[in-house]
């Protein structure tokens, strides 16, 4: 956030009102999509436990695929 010196109080109020409307718009667009850490907890847990137990992604391939499919259903495509 940049700091601007304003000579009149009315200009400062306008500046603050503009910042508030921008912040509320940005916060609503970022809250539309859930965080990747919060979706698919069951498939994530099973995948992680398999990888920790076997230390091999090949043995856990089906669980990894299931978790990726779940994540894609929430819009996470990587």
Residue 56's pLDDT is what?
A: 85
Is 50 annotated for ligand binding?
Answer: no
Check: CB of residue 28 under 8 Å from CB of residue 51.
no
Helix (H) or strand (E) holding 32, with range, is: none
* pLDDT tens digit sequence for 5-60: 444 444 444 444 444 444 444 444 556 789 999 999 999 999 999 999 999 889 99
Give this prediction's pTM: 0.58
By CB neighbour count within 10 A (0-12 exposed, 13-18 middle, 19+ buried), where does 68 fall? middle
Is 60 annotated for ligand binding?
Answer: no
pLDDT higher than 90, residue 61 = yes
Residue 78's pLDDT is what?
A: 73
Residue 10's pLDDT is what?
A: 44
Domains of the chain, by residue range, sit at: 41-74
């Amino acid at each position: 956030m940049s700091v601007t010196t304003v000579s009149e109080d009315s200009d400062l109020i306008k500046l603050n009102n503009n910042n508030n409307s921008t912040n509320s718009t940005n916060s609503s667009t970022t809250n539309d999509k859930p965080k990747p850490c919060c979706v698919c907890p069951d498939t994530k847990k099973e995948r992680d436990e398999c990888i920790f137990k076997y230390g091999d992604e090949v043995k856990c391939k089906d669980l990894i695929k299931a978790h990726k499919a779940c994540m894609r259903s929430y819009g996470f495509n990587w």
